[in-house]
Amino acid sequence: MEKVTGIGGFFFRAEDPAALGEWYRAHLGIDRVPGDYDTPCWRQEAGETVFAPFEKVTDYFGDREKPFMVNFRVRDLEAMIVQLEAAGIEVRRDPQSYPNGRFA
């Protein structure tokens, strides 16, 4: 059986796509989509990706108005939190550790 080997794209609506794309580049290191097919897009490192639909009414995402949630893998969660907070970005830490990692 053929299997998906990672996320090939994540597309979502934004009021200001250019500004949001720049935010992801500046704070999370995700390069913006190139303007041509010759320049490679952002590549993720090897690792598991969870693909899971949820009930329409769930508190798992936090805000019930949000239609999606994305988990990003990082090498050092604490370093990422420090980086985001230094940029004035509020980070909510999950106090629990799970078999598959920690979350914020």
> Domains, the chain, ranges and CATH?
4-103 (3.10.180)
Predicted pLDDT of residue 88: 96
Q: Mean per-residue pLDDT for 2-15?
A: 69
Of 46 and 34, the one with more pLDDT = 34
- Integer Cα distance of 57 and 16 in angstroms: 28
pLDDT tens digits along 48-91: 666 667 777 888 777 778 888 787 888 888 998 999 999 999 99
Beta carbons of 59 and 65 less than 8 angstroms apart:
no
Give the pTM.
Answer: 0.65
For residue 1, pLDDT over 60 is answered with no
pLDDT at 45 over 90: no
CA distances from 16 to 22, 34, 37, 38 (A): 10, 17, 23, 25
